[in-house]
Amino acid sequence: MDLTSQSALTLSRLIRTREVKPSEVIGAHLAQIAAVNPQVNAVVSLREPDQIMEEALALDDQAPEGALFGLPLAVKDLLQTKGIRTTFGSPLYADHVPKADDLIASRMRGAGAVLIGKTNTPEWGHGSHSFNPVFGATRNPYDLGLTAGGSSGGAAAALAAHMVPLADGSDMMGSLRNPAAFCNVYGFRPSWGLVPTDAGYETFLDTMATEGPMARDIADIALLLGVQAGPNPLTPFGQAPQDYLGAVGAAPADLKGKRFAWFGDFGGQLQFEPGIIAACEAGLRVLEDLGAEVVPVSLPLPVADLWQAWITIRSFLNFGNKGAEMRNPAHWQQLKPETQWEIESGASVTAEALWQASKIRSRWYARAHEMLEGFDALVMPVAQVWPFPVGWRYPQAINGVEMDTYHRWMEVVVPVSLIGLPSLAVPVGFGANGLPMGMQIAGRHGADAAVLALGQAYHQATLWPQKRPPQI
């Protein structure tokens, strides 16, 4: 049995029934990392394999405890991990070894996962291309000359290359969804507040970024989300978790009676490279074949308004998080230009601009939920470009239209990110260029289990992530 091809849920069952040992599962994945990671560069700061195996062997004779017992997990390099180097992709933290886990890393470790290392990310998570001066660039397992996306690009590539059975990621703009689309896996951005942040940071104003799960099937998404979700009593806005595995297990084989609102290219307001809309429409036909109704709709607000609100709030938050670096010349010169731009933009945000941005955000939240009274989900593309050359910093134009920021080419994810909807990125197959693409299925705030149930019906009908990269 190829243990690296099994789902996390299957591996968990095999471990619990003593059909395989944790050391066998972890050893198989370490062997896969040794074989393919030199090409892909997805797993970074890997612990000494002998040390990992010593920990794994100690689990062999223990009674399985925790949803992730005996499973290897490489944590995104934006989460601090006790005793494992955490760099944030920055030369400022190239040798940083935390003394404690961040909350979500602690929850995953506490659920029995063996933390083996980290997954690569852009410096500070800024941008949807996972490269940094500490570890270099992560490559797409489906075409090693192309990007794996980001900022959870290392996680997505590690999954696609079967180096890990499931992965964590984070998403402020599209960092769980874009790399999932680029690497033919699933990425789930939970309802904002479901997966909490750590205490000690700003926790009232920053309501944009969230941790979440990635996997090669929906049941594994549900498994990891069940570990990550649940209130942190030290932070506000917490939500009680739901029975995600139960919802996925009870998902109907068809989608009769379900209605999906499809935004397409947003009435021409956004640029998409040729073939992307057609690829997503092929995914929509799967929903229709399962009995669902797909209805083309228009965004009730101008896309430009959402972008202006988004970029104002995002810059404000990035200045709050990193603005102190402006007063430290030695640090400032080591920040990537995109991060410097974020901070400088945030420094100029006025109270009036922030208030107007919040009003637009509030109006869109209300209108989106009005739409969701008549639909089960909103469907949009995940990306506006195909995976691009790994040597680029970012796409500077789409169809000859210049991008005016380093992340403008990701604008399609903003409608979901701005208002914290649960959104599942699902693969839609491969274009004529042979590259993966995806679309996102978003539901009303708090409807995470329902969105995953829809995703499970789609997954069972497609099984796209089971098409392994030909080069790996």
Residues 65-99 pLDDT 10s: 999 999 999 999 999 999 999 999 999 999 999 99
Measure the CA–CA gap between 23 and 319, rounded to whole angstroms: 45
Which residues, at least 6 apart from 360, have a Cβ–Cβ distance to it below 8 Å?
301, 305, 306, 308, 309
**What one-letter code names the amino acid at 73?**
L
- The DSSP letter of residue 243 is -
| Distance (Å) of CA 443 to CA 206, 448, 463 | 21, 7, 22
Cβ proximity of 168 and 79 under 8 Å = yes
Q: What are the mean pLDDT values of the chain's consecutive 10-residue runs (472 residues total)?
A: 97 98 98 98 98 98 96 98 98 98 98 98 97 98 98 98 98 98 98 96 95 98 98 96 97 96 98 98 98 98 98 97 95 96 97 98 98 98 98 98 98 98 98 98 98 98 96 76
Give me the pLDDT at residue 94, please: 98
Cβ proximity of 152 and 145 under 8 Å = no
Cβ proximity of 379 and 368 under 8 Å = no
> Is the peptide bond between 362 and the residue preceding it cis, with omega within 30 degrees of 0?
no
Fold of 3-466: Amidase signature (AS) enzymes (3.90.1300)
Give me the pLDDT at residue 472, please: 77
What tens digit of pLDDT does each residue of 178-205 get? Answer: 999 999 999 999 999 999 999 989 999 9
What tens digit of pLDDT does each residue of 110-169 get? Answer: 999 999 999 999 999 999 999 999 999 999 999 999 999 999 999 999 999 999 999 999
Q: Which residue has the tokens 């790399």?
A: 179
What positions carry a catalytic annotation? Answer: 76, 151, 175
Cβ proximity of 186 and 217 under 8 Å = yes
Handedness of CA 210, 305, 403, 341 (dihedral sign): negative
Give me the pLDDT at residue 471, please: 76
Q: How crowded is the C-beta side of 12, counted as CA atoms within 13 Å?
A: 18
